[in-house]
Amino acid sequence: MRKLPLRNARPLDYRSTVTDRPPTSTDVQHVPTCRRRVPGEQGVWVLLLGDLLVFALFFITFIVERSKAPDDFDIARRTLHTGIGLTNTFVLLTSSLMIVIAVGAVRTRMLLIAGHAVLAAMACGVVFVGLKCYEYGSMLSAGYGAGANEFYLYYYILTGIHLFHVCLGLAVLVALWTQTRRPELSPTRMAVFESGTCFWHLVDMLWIVLFPLLYLVS
């Protein structure tokens, strides 16, 4: 467990000060156990929050366009492979859990386990990409290309940009895995490691909204 600083703690040479006894539980006051801190590098949060805002605009644009032709959008929505979308949601959620385990393992210096957890998360990411490519191929062969109607145009743009994020995230995970090969991570490297994990969680978070918006909202 992480040691926390003590507020009002006596100086180390307390034996030579006022009282000639060691400090007791009444002498020190513990700070709250949940000391607040920014996960990862602060600058990365500008990127992450900016990305969230950009995607919010994408989501809003889609729902506005949907309101112009709700019947066409709903008919097109029913042609999507909902099972693949659902599976991909489970896959990304599981990859996020693997990354949480990796962060915990790095903090407790179980770097071998951390490496394995990152590899498991990468495997999940690869499964996501594979399923997405299969879905694209299946839809294109059925004649549902980006030009079929407005829904499909937005579908390919939104999921394509997200897929780009997944590929970028996989590259980040490779970088994280190389960090777990080190004997120890400095505080700076740990902050960079946490920043990378936050980006992967962002990828998961964006899909959490995309899946219901595209596949479920009728």
Partner 1 sequence: MAGPSVLSLIRNRAVVSWLILLVATASSFAVGVEHGTGSLVALVVLAIAAIKMRLVGLDFMELRDAPIPLRAAFEVYCIALWATLSGIYLWL
Which residues would be at the binding site for partner 1 (CB under 8 A)?
Answer: 34-39, 45, 49, 52-53, 56, 59-60, 63-64, 66-67, 74, 82, 86, 89-90, 93-94, 96-97, 99-101, 104-105, 108, 110, 113, 194, 197-198, 201-202, 204-205, 208-209, 211-213, 215-218
CB 85, min distance to partner 1, A? 9
- In the complex, minimum distance from the CB of residue 60 to partner 1, in angstroms, rounded to a whole number: 6
Residue 182 DSSP label: S
Altogether, the residues listed in the chain come to a count of 218
Shorter beta-carbon distance to partner 1: residue 170 or 210: 210
CB of 16 to partner 1, least distance (A): 30
Specify the residue, 110 or 140, whose C-beta has the smaller distance to partner 1: 110
Residues in CB range of 11: below 8 A, 6 or more apart? 17
126 burial (CB, 10 Å; 0-12 / 13-18 / 19+) is middle
Nearest to partner 1 of 47, 140 (CB atom) = 47
Residues 6+ positions from 154 with CB-CB distance below 8 Å: 61, 62, 65
Which ranges of 142-186 would DSSP assign to H, the alpha helix?
150-180
Strand partners, 30: 6
Residue (66 or 165) nearer to partner 1, CB: 66
Tokens 């120890």, residue located: 184
Minimal distance, residue 184 CB to partner 1, in Å: 15
- Which helix (H) or strand (E) segment holds residue 7: the answer is strand 6-7
